[in-house]
Chains A and B, each alone.
Chain A
Amino acid sequence: AQKITQTQPGMFVQEKEAVTLDCTYDTSDQSYGLFWYKQPSSGEMIFLIYQGSYDEQNATEGRYSLNFQKARKSANLVISASQLGDSAMYFCAMREGGIGGFKTIFGAGTRLFVKA
């Protein structure tokens, strides 16, 4: 069965420093997609970054990069040069079948606090 595990309930980072949010996943499918979403205190879920299981390069989107280690089944999110506006909940998620699949499951989330 699909499962997403985020072991860090909360993380602190100093402004302008980099931070890594951990995510491990479990699936028996060969084709799957991994996602990270941000949820600020306003409540809206914002899609950040996607990594396909067959993608050989780690995904990057601006200050976000996904450290994909397939053998370890981990998909950690790295945020470089943290900003105060990065303070939010971050959810790791997985969709079996890649972009052609339909159901995405989410982890419990990590709350990130950026200190000035």
Chain B
Amino acid sequence: DTGVSQNPRHKITKRGQNVTFRCDPISEHNRLYWYRQTLGQGPEFLTYFQNEAQLEKSRLLSDRFSAERPKGSFSTLEIQRTEQGDSAMYLCAISGENNYGYTFGSGTRLTVV
């Protein structure tokens, strides 16, 4: 139990389809992050929420990507019109005000065929 639950664990989709991932922190944390990790690379920052406010979006997050955190608890990441280049592990992480490191979820592995 990592403190962050991500669903689904794996998703295979056809190019052009929309997908949505969910991140559920087990307890309240005001900071929530989405990262993307491709094979052989470190995680890349996508976006960050302070409570329900989305405060920063990476340029990696094209207009096909949207993230929400409607009540400051769980978060969703949606990718519209998926492309093969979207294939990656999508990681959700949380931190509190006094937490030094992130607590990561197990990730959602997306494969676009």
Give A residues with C-beta under 8 Å from B.
4, 33, 35, 37, 42-48, 50, 91, 93, 99, 102-109
What are 26 A-B contacts defined by CB distance under 8 Å? A4-B42, A35-B100, A35-B101, A37-B101, A42-B106, A43-B89, A43-B107, A44-B2, A44-B104, A44-B106, A45-B93, A45-B102, A47-B101, A47-B102, A47-B103, A48-B101, A91-B43, A99-B98, A102-B55, A103-B45, A103-B56, A104-B33, A104-B45, A105-B45, A109-B40, A109-B42
On chain A, the residues within 8 Å of B40 by CB distance are 108-109
Give B residues with C-beta under 8 Å from A.
2, 31, 33, 40-45, 48, 50, 55-56, 89, 91, 93, 97-104, 106-107, 109
Minimum CB distance partner of B47 in chain A: A103
Which of B40, B43, B55, B99 is packed against the most chain A CB atoms within 10 Å? Answer: B43
